[in-house]
A and B are shown apart, each in its own frame.
Chain A
Amino acid sequence: NAGVTQTPKFRILKIGQSMTLQCTQDMNHNYMYWYRQDPGMGLKLIYYSVGAGITDKGEVPNGYNVSRSTTEDFPLRLELAAPSQTSVYFCASYGQGYNSPLHFGNGTRLTVT
């Protein structure tokens, strides 16, 4: 059971570079999420998707883009990296049902210098 898989685990970007953080899940979950985690700030929702072809903004979407062409994959795109995007990024999925948990990946640690 792979669950939610994120790649890469670590990445260093220069200011202005772009990259895509990959996320895939093998649980056939419709709901998928991208969070960023900063020290003392908790988890902030960037974007989410309720199914293939449907995405919506979360609390902190600026500087990011997403797409959801399949149920399994939910990549997060950074177009012009800025130091403020230095963070740990977590992808999660949710399968619905009473008290169903969010299933998180192990994160991507991104540094923008």
Chain B
Amino acid sequence: QQQVKQSPQSLIVQKGGISIINCAYENTAFDYFPWYQQFPGKGPALLIAIRPDVSEKKEGRFTISFNKSAKQFSLHIMDSQPGDSATYFCAAGPKETSGSRLTFGEGTQLTVNP
């Protein structure tokens, strides 16, 4: 019940295209849904996060869509750029500990071709 399932495992997109990464969770106690971005040789860094009281959150070219009834959330990267090439992790955390005890998805390696 603690799992977070992420797909696809890898994704290749042309420059200017839309990248979409999906995640599904089981535990209804999860209350915080962040996305982390990781470049080679670096640790993950918070990209964008959402709480289930809203269905969508947008920051620049990055948007999280959240479907509470389906227990699914997704990351959309509009106008994808080669600099977006990285590994993306979705995660989920329970309300009482917010961002501290996160369960991570398996990761998606995104490649944006020029």
Contacts and interface: CB of A to CB of B under 8 A. Distances in A.
Given A40-B107, A42-B6, A99 B99 contact: yes
Contacts of B49: 99, 101
Contacts of A98: 98
A42 B99 contact: no
Contacts of B44: 43, 90, 102, 104
Contacts of A2: none
B66 interface: no
Interface residues of A, number: 23
B61 interface: no
B89 interface: yes
B93 to A, nearest CB: 10
A81 interface: no
Give the interface SS of chain A, mostly helix, strand, loop or mixed: strand
A12 B114 CA distance: 36
Chain B contact patch, size range = 20 to 34
| Most chain B CB neighbours (cut-off 10 Å) among A4, A48, A99, A105 | A99
Interface string B1-25: 0001010010000000000000000
Nearest to B45: A104
Nearest to A105: B43
Interface of B: 4, 6, 9, 32, 34, 36, 41-46, 49, 51, 89, 98-102, 104-107
16 contacts: A31-B100, A40-B107, A41-B106, A42-B4, A43-B107, A90-B43, A90-B44, A96-B100, A99-B99, A100-B98, A101-B45, A101-B99, A104-B44, A106-B41, A107-B41, A107-B43
Interface of A: 4, 31, 35, 40-45, 48, 90, 92, 94, 96, 98-102, 104-107
